[in-house]
């Protein structure tokens, strides 16, 4: 069958379009960023090569960059340690319900995930609005008459509010991943554990979660990537403010390049960001794989 | 038994409340899109629209230029769905079926496409596309929309192709069928579910994309649908009801699609992600 599956011309015809698009829209641009990251270009006019000065400044003298990474890290941890367990528990409950009811609920829980981030963000910006937003109205209804918080611009609540929107939208995804994973668990496994005297919770902790480890790992990797990726939501709600409390790297590099006129600096941020994202993903994958082998 | 029944009831009640909480924000927006802007400042959480203000929708439709943005979205998204599905299928086929030396490179590129944050390409692509005169054309969106859905789609197709036997293609080849024919009448019909998944996911992702559309397009004639919401914020700052009507209209397309295809979407979402 070499003539069939080893036909060089056919392989080229199949592979080239895909690779060409990837190279054009993904690989070359990163090369561009690597080049402009070494310059002091403002986006127009002349510029000079300034070596690694941008990178040095970002790493040693740019608190906003570190704040943005810290926020991504906080989001990652909250997603993995709070949202995921909640989604897992709910998925476990749903998997024991009658099929029709479970399907209806899963469909409803996933609705926010199919909507545009622009709609989601603007919706929550309105909910969080201090004067007509529904959140303050609810607080008034339950007796907290004096509460008048501008959730997205108050330094005490801004990060929490922003994280809430992201977690709310992502919840349906996590639920769906875990539900699909749970469906692959053979029912004998749980039954065997039950026969051995394990309760519902114990059966899940001791038998089902270890069995689901590959799924959990995959979801964690997705969480890491998507935590770093946040942009539209921030861009359309707080723009990183107040100060840089809710800043994320993508928003920051955009603002630097297109608003502050530091195009070279913005590109250096882009390059560092790619390195951080790829590096972190590889590290997390390696840690998870090692755990998987250990079991 | 009684306590068991009570426990189950509490559980169901909890699940339903959670579902309502998940839908409530949407309901709230829809509700106030049918009221007058001033109603928003009342103390009620929801208010029955006794006299529905359909005029809000008319104004959102006309002043928000929704038909134009809608058509632009259709053009950009339909092209990117078609192209992305086609070339990711080819890529997946060559990776799972064909034998060639540089295959690991292709696999690495596809994997990288999943990991690199797409927004890092915003700055360089602005220059790069500008160099080819693509900025402020729909191509400036179609190309990255294809590129950034390619990896996921390839993984979905790879997952499906791995489950299919090669014998069909082999026997078709023995019978003297040409490659295009093998593709079209042997392989494509077998990958039906994956094709539907890929098209739906690519559609939803690109239909909802905002930041590239915002960055690469500057003329109003070319803007895509999510932009209409942003536009209203400037022009009708205090006209909340119209903004809400606009949000409802923009949300409607994915919701309708989801309503009809929820089973396939729910199955498809996990397919690529978990196998990859």
User: What's the CATH code of the domain at A161?
Assistant: 1.10.3720.10
Q: How far does A6 lie from chain B, in Å, by closest CA?
A: 5
Could A24 and B147 be called an inter-chain contact, meaning their C-beta atoms sit closer than 8 Å? Answer: yes
Instruction: Find the domain containing A229 and state its range.
Output: 62-116+155-294
**DSSP 8-state symbol, B48:** -
Higher pLDDT, B234 or B110: B110
Could B94 and A11 be called an inter-chain contact, meaning their C-beta atoms sit closer than 8 Å? Answer: yes
Tell me which of B124, B202, B207 to substitute to probe the interface with A (most A C-beta atoms closer than 10 Å).
B124
Model confidence pLDDT, tens digit, residues A101-123: 888 898 899 888 888 888 889 88
**Chain B residue numbers touching A181 (CB-CB < 8 A):** 274
Q: How far does B83 lie from chain A, in Å, by closest CA?
A: 10
Q: How far does B98 lie from chain A, in Å, by closest CA?
A: 5
A48-52, A53-57, B4-8, B137-141: which has the minimum mean pLDDT? B4-8
Query: How confident is the model at residue B276, as a pLDDT?
Result: 43
CB environment A50-80: b (16+ within 10 A), e (fewer): beebbbeebeeebebbebbbebbeebbebbb
Query: How confident is the model at residue B3, as a pLDDT?
Result: 64
Could B117 and A124 be called an inter-chain contact, meaning their C-beta atoms sit closer than 8 Å? Answer: no
Model confidence pLDDT, tens digit, residues B168-209: 888 888 888 888 888 888 888 888 888 888 898 899 889 889
**CA–CA gap between residue B138 and residue B250 (Å, rounded):** 20
Q: Does residue A210 sit at the B interface (CB-CB below 8 Å)?
A: no
Query: How confident is the model at residue B2, as a pLDDT?
Result: 55
Name which of A116, A168, A270 is nearest B210 (Cβ-Cβ).
Answer: A116
Higher pLDDT, A204 or A119: A119
Mean pLDDT for A40-67 is 89
Strand pairing partners for A39? A49
Query: How confident is the model at residue B144, as a pLDDT?
Result: 95
Q: Is the pLDDT of residue B136 over 60?
A: yes
Q: Contacts by B164-168 with C-beta closer than 8 Å and gap 24+? A: B164/B190, B164/B191, B166/A1, B166/A5, B166/B97
**Chain A residue numbers touching B258 (CB-CB < 8 A):** 110-111, 114
Domain parsing of chain B, residue ranges: 2-55, 64-275
Strand pairing partners for A49? A39
**CA–CA gap between residue A263 and residue B127 (Å, rounded):** 11
Q: Is residue A141 part of a domain?
A: no
Q: How far does A36 lie from chain B, in Å, by closest CA?
A: 8
Mean pLDDT score of chain B: 85
Q: Does residue A128 sit at the B interface (CB-CB below 8 Å)?
A: no
Instruction: Evaluate whether B62 touches A152 at the Cβ level (below 8 Å).
Output: no
Name which of A8, A22, A254 is nearest B109 (Cβ-Cβ).
Answer: A22
Q: Is the pLDDT of residue B236 over 80?
A: no
**CA–CA gap between residue A126 and residue A132 (Å, rounded):** 8
Model confidence pLDDT, tens digit, residues A236-288: 999 987 989 999 999 999 999 999 889 999 999 999 999 999 999 999 988 88
Tell me which of A12, A13, A18, A179 to substitute to probe the interface with B (most B C-beta atoms closer than 10 Å).
A18
Q: How far does A26 lie from chain B, in Å, by closest CA?
A: 7
Count how many residues are written for chain A: 295
Name which of B28, B40, B150 is nearest A18 (Cβ-Cβ).
Answer: B150
Name which of B18, B23, B116 is nearest A26 (Cβ-Cβ).
Answer: B116
**Angle between helix B55-63 and helix B66-96 axes, rounded to 10 deg:** 70
Q: Does residue A201 sit at the B interface (CB-CB below 8 Å)?
A: no
Model confidence pLDDT, tens digit, residues A136-162: 888 888 877 777 788 898 889 999 999
**Chain B residue numbers touching A6 (CB-CB < 8 A):** 98-100
Q: Does residue A239 sit at the B interface (CB-CB below 8 Å)?
A: no
**CA–CA gap between residue A47 and residue A35 (Å, rounded):** 12
Enclosing H/E stretch for B202? helix B192-207
Name which of B87, B120, B251 is nearest A270 (Cβ-Cβ).
Answer: B120
Q: How far does A156 lie from chain B, in Å, by closest CA?
A: 23
Whether the ω angle into residue A242 lies within 30 degrees of 0, i.e. cis, is yes
Domain count, chain A: 1
Q: Which of B66, B203, B211, B121 is nearest to A118 (CA)?
A: B211
Q: Is residue A28 part of a domain?
A: no
Give start and end residues of each alpha helix (H) in B97-118.
103-115
Q: State the residue for tokens 């997603």.
A: A79
Report the alpha-carbon angle B32-B235-B119, nearest 5. 90
Instruction: Evaluate whether A168 touches A128 at the Cβ level (below 8 Å).
Output: no
Q: Is residue A7 part of a domain?
A: no
Could B29 and A126 be called an inter-chain contact, meaning their C-beta atoms sit closer than 8 Å? Answer: yes
Name which of A4, A94, A278 is nearest B173 (Cβ-Cβ).
Answer: A4
Q: Is residue A67 part of a domain?
A: yes
Could B251 and A132 be called an inter-chain contact, meaning their C-beta atoms sit closer than 8 Å? Answer: no
Q: Which CATH superfamily is domain B64-275 in?
A: MetI-like (1.10.3720.10)
Q: How far does B97 lie from chain A, in Å, by closest CA?
A: 7
> Residue A144 contacts by C-beta under 8 Å, 6 or more apart in sequence?
none
Q: Does residue A215 sit at the B interface (CB-CB below 8 Å)?
A: yes
**Angle between helix B139-162 and helix B122-131 axes, rounded to 10 deg:** 120
**Chain B residue numbers touching A247 (CB-CB < 8 A):** none
**DSSP 8-state symbol, B222:** G
From chain A residues 156-175, the ones with a CB under 8 A of any chain B CB are: 168, 171-173
Q: Is residue A76 part of a domain?
A: yes
- Tokens matching residue A260: 């502050």
**CA–CA gap between residue A196 and residue A210 (Å, rounded):** 17
**CA–CA gap between residue A95 and residue A118 (Å, rounded):** 32
Query: How confident is the model at residue B250, as a pLDDT?
Result: 86
**Chain B residue numbers touching A18 (CB-CB < 8 A):** 87-88, 90-91, 106, 150, 154
Instruction: Evaluate whether B120 touches A274 at the Cβ level (below 8 Å).
Output: yes
Could A119 and B215 be called an inter-chain contact, meaning their C-beta atoms sit closer than 8 Å? Answer: no
Number of cross-chain residue pairs from A and B with Cβ atoms under 8 Å apart: 255
Higher pLDDT, B76 or A132: B76
Give start and end residues of each alpha helix (H) in chain A.
2-5, 8-22, 28-36, 53-61, 63-78, 84-94, 99-109, 111-114, 117-127, 134-141, 158-183, 187-195, 200-203, 209-211, 213-229, 232-237, 249-254, 263-294
Name which of B40, B113, B265 is nearest A22 (Cβ-Cβ).
Answer: B113
């Amino acid at each position: 069958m070499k003539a069939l599956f080893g036909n060089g011309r056919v392989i080229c015809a199949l592979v080239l379009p895909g690779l060409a698009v990837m190279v054009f829209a993904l690989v070359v641009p990163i090369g561009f960023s690597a080049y402009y990251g070494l310059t002091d270009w403002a986006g127009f006019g002349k510029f000079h090569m300034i070596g690694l000065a941008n990178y040095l400044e970002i790493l040693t003298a740019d608190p906003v960059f570190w704040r943005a990474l810290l926020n991504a890290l906080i989001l990652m941890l909250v997603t993995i340690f709070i949202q995921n367990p909640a989604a897992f528990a709910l998925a476990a409950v749903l998997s024991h319900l009658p099929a029709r009811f479970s399907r209806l609920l899963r469909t409803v829980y996933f609705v926010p995930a199919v909507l545009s981030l622009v709609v989601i963000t603007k919706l929550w910006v309105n909910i969080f609005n201090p004067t007509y937003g529904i959140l303050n109205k609810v607080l008034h209804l339950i007796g907290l008459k004096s509460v008048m918080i501008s959730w997205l611009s108050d330094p005490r609540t801004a990060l929490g509010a922003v994280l809430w929107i992201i977690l709310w939208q992502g919840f349906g995804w996590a639920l769906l991943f875990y539900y699909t994973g749970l469906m692959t668990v053979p029912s004998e496994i749980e039954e065997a554990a039950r026969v051995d005297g394990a309760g519902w919770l114990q059966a899940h902790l001791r038998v089902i979660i270890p069995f689901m480890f590959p799924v959990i790992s995959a979801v964690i990797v997705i969480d890491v990537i998507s935590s770093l990726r946040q942009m539209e939501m921030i861009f359309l709600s707080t723009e990183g403010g107040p100060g840089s409390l809710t800043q994320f790297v993508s928003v920051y590099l955009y603002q630097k390049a297109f608003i502050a006129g530091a195009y070279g600096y913005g590109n250096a941020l882009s390059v560092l960001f790619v390195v951080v994202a790829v590096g972190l993903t590889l590290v997390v994958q390696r840690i998870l794989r090692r755990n998987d082998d250990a079991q | 038994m009684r306590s068991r029944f009570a426990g189950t009831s509490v559980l169901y009640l909890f699940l339903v409340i959670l579902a309502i909480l998940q839908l409530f924000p949407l309901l709230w927006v829809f509700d106030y899109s049918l009221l007058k802007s001033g109603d928003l400042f009342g103390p009620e959480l929801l208010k029955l629209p006794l006299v529905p203000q359909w005029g809000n929708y008319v104004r959102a439709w006309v002043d928000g230029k929704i038909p134009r943005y809608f058509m632009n979205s259709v053009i950009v998204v339909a092209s990117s769905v078609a192209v992305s599905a086609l070339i990711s299928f080819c890529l997946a086929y060559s990776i799972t079926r064909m034998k060639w030396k540089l295959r690991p490179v292709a696999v690495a590129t596809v994997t990288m496409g999943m990991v690199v944050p797409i927004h890092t390409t915003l700055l360089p692509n602005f220059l790069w596309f500008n160099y080819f005169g693509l900025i402020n054309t729909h191509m400036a969106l179609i190309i990255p929309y294809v590129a950034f859905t390619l990896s996921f789609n390839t993984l979905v197709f790879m997952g499906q192709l791995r489950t299919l036997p090669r014998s069909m293609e082999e026997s078709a080849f023995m019978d003297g069928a040409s490659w295009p024919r093998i593709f079209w009448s042997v392989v494509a019909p077998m990958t039906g579910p994956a094709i539907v998944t890929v098209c739906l996911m690519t559609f939803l992702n690109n239909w909802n994309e905002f930041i590239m559309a915002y960055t690469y397009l500057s003329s109003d004639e070319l803007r895509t649908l999510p932009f209409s919401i942003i536009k209203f914020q400037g022009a009708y700052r205090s006209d909340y009801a119209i903004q809400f009507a606009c949000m409802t209209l923009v949300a409607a397309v994915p919701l309708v699609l989801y309503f009809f295809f929820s089973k396939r979407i729910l199955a498809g979402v996990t397919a690529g992600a978990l196998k990859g």
